[in-house]
Amino acid sequence: MLGKKVHTKIRVRYAETDQMGVVYYANYLVWMEVARVAYCSAVGFEYRDMERHAGAYLAVTEARCKYRVPARFDDDVALSCWVTESRSRTVRFAYEMRRDDELLATGETHHTVMDARGKMIRMPEAYRKYFPLSR
């Protein structure tokens, strides 16, 4: 693990479940986004401010999720997020989703730093400290 592990919680909404009563698989990607935004806040900045003030966006270029045990309506789910790799133009996050001590799913997203036009840029200097560089 490279970066600080940040934890946040969600409660599964009925709308997030499918006909079988389990969380629809795509919602885990949404939860990863929730965890990533919580990570940014916990380490010292608001993600929206990086977009607004520095014109830098973390575009998802790869996402994966391994499902182990289904979450269900009204479950309390603990989300964990941390940085596993950081370069001048890319960042990789890892995730865990748990109900109590039970591991529900793990995931990973890879992001490229982009400007508002979609051009790859370097991580702005003011934000580099929040994403420890990989060696």
Closest CA to 81 of 68, 104, 97: 97
Residue 106 lies in a domain: yes
Task: Give 93's pLDDT tier (boundaries 50, 70, 90).
Answer: very high
Domain range for 51 is 6-128
The encoded tokens of residue 5 equal: 């592990």
Residue 80 lies in a domain: yes
Q: Kindly report the backbone phi and psi dihedral angles of residue 42, in degrees, each rounded to the nearest multiple of 5, phi listed first.
A: -65, -30
Task: State pLDDT tens for residues 98-108.
Answer: 999 999 999 99
Average confidence (pLDDT) over 108-126: 97
Residue 96 lies in a domain: yes
Catalytic residue, candidates 18, 74, 76, 115:
18
The encoded tokens of residue 118 equal: 């979609």
Task: State pLDDT tens for residues 45-55.
Answer: 999 999 999 99
Residue 103 lies in a domain: yes
Q: What is the pLDDT of residue 69?
A: 97
For the question of residue 18 being annotated catalytic, the response is yes
CB atoms within 10 A of CB 86: 20
Backbone region of residue 74 per phi and psi (left: phi > 0; alpha: psi in -120 to 50; beta: other values): left
Q: Are 117 and 125 in contact (CB under 8 A)?
A: no
Q: Which residues pair with 33 in a beta bridge?
A: none
Residues 6+ apart with CB under 8 A from 100: none
- Total number of domains constituting the chain: 1
Q: What distance in Å separates the CA atoms of residue 48 and residue 27, rounded to the nearest whole number?
A: 21
Check pLDDT > 80 for residue 134. Answer: no
Residue 76 lies in a domain: yes
Average confidence (pLDDT) over 102-126: 97
Q: What distance in Å separates the CA atoms of residue 98 and residue 131, rounded to the nearest whole number?
A: 24
Q: What is the pLDDT of residue 48?
A: 95
- Give the rounded distance of the alpha carbon of 73 from its chain centre: 22
Task: State pLDDT tens for residues 24-83.
Answer: 999 999 999 999 999 999 999 999 999 999 999 999 999 999 999 999 999 999 999 999
Q: What is the pLDDT of residue 132?
A: 78
Q: What is the CATH number of the domain that holds 63?
A: 3.10.129.10
